Structure 1
Amino acid sequence: MMQRDITNFRTYIISESVVFSKTNEAFGGLSNMAPGFPLFVNDNIVSNSEMLYQAMRFSLFPDIQYEIISQNSPMTAKMISKKHLERSRQDWEQIKIKVMRWCLEVKLCQNWDKFSELLKQTGTKSIVEFSTKDQFWGASKNGYNNELIGQNALGRLLMEMREKFILQEKKLLKVSPLNITGFLLYGNEIESIYSDSVYTLEH
């Protein structure tokens, strides 16, 4: 299971996998860059999971977080993040998988109908993010027309989430904050995230 080992490279057969790359593709909604999956964290709207992930790299710098989240596009937000890499959390490499898992669960929790249906459509196939450059979060061509190789960490997190919630038919109603030091947004401790359905039931 991926929680035990996400560091090894794997080979995926393209024709037997759900492969996504661009947000306008059939499974483009699986991408962190995809529009239409807004997030609500500590009374703040974050347009997509890419912006949230990049912002959490700079937990101790609310000004950088604001600069990232206020952008009009996730790609621009990612470029802003790269500009400030020297101010990343010192433990970022140790926690980034946990942070990405949290971001994806927030995306699922707050966009359940749309995102759960997309994950359900992947069946039990391997989910792979195709990338020509990034073999950590994604996978790239292996010299064979029908193969991709990489750690595919994002795809494996999506498969983990699919198994835990979609295949088990267990609706995600709450996402707790990570138990790490300085898990902050705009200088405030991040609170538990709840789905829209919980708000509807309470009101």
Structure 2
Amino acid sequence: MKISERVYQPTEVVAFSSTKGEFGGLSNMAPGFVIRVNDVIIPTAEALYQACRYPLFPEIQKEIIEQHSLMTAKMISRKYLDKTRQDWESIKYDVMYWVLQVKLSQNYEKFSKVLMDTRNSPIVEVSKKDKDWAAMRDQDKTLRGRNALGRLLMKLREEHIFNQNPISCVAPLPITGFLLYGSAIETVCDPALEFEEEFA
């Protein structure tokens, strides 16, 4: 998946820059969107994404996932960048989209509402230093950057919200070494759905 740089007019977009505010739930750092993968409880989408960077190092994954502070988890990940999987730059957008699908599947009512509230507007994460996942304010007041997270959120909105295609289970990515705590990541389903099937 390749994502090129774009320019956005601030008045025409739904912008978010933190977990606070009306669209804070779009942030990967947003609390209240707990995820379960391979029976591991993961506090945020960001923690899951960062853990996927280190499939051969379960102890690093555990250190990231078990942090109570969301920012600390991200900072811990940065300590181990030299141990990042070698193909990370070529798969990171695919991994992020998988993470967003998992977030939606397990928090459908809450997360779908946030996405629906963006209507059909472009979604842009605004940052002061990141032109890859987000966009930065330029001298002419426009927002410029790849805005990868915003565009993946728009893809998620198009495929699963606008098309009324609720997502209950997400298959693992077909990549080598897609592991969590030393085990292959399995298909992830909404725990509520699994509970209903067990007692059906």
**TM band (smaller chain):** over 0.9
Aligned: 1:135 with 2:131: yes
CA drift at 1:15: 1.1
RMSD across aligned C-alpha pairs, in angstroms?
1.0
Q: Deviations over 1:143-169 (max 9, x none)?
A: 123x20000000000000000000001
Q: Aligned match of 2:71 in 72, 75, 84?
A: 75
Once residues 17 and 73 of structure 2 are traced to their aligned partners in structure 1, the CA distance between those partners, rounded to angstroms, is 18
Once residues 200 and 54 of structure 1 are traced to their aligned partners in structure 2, the CA distance between those partners, rounded to angstroms, is 28
**Which residue pairs with 1:53 in the alignment?**
49
Q: Aligned match of 1:152 in 128, 147, 155?
A: 147
- Which consecutive aligned stretches of 4+ in structure 1 deviate over 6 angstroms post-superposition? none
**Which residue pairs with 2:170 in the alignment?**
175
Matches within 5 A, 1:176-191: 176-191=171-186
Once residues 37 and 14 of structure 1 are traced to their aligned partners in structure 2, the CA distance between those partners, rounded to angstroms, is 27
Q: Deviations over 1:30-61 (max 9, x none)?
A: 00000000000000100000000000100000
**Which residue pairs with 1:10 in the alignment?**
6
TM-score by length of 2: 0.96
CA drift at 1:200: 4.2
Identity of aligned residues (%): 53
Q: Aligned match of 1:43 in 36, 39, 43?
A: 39
Contact 1:173–1:197 at 8 Å: present in 2 too?
Answer: no
TM-score by length of 1: 0.95
CA drift at 1:112: 0.1
Paired residues in the alignment total: 198
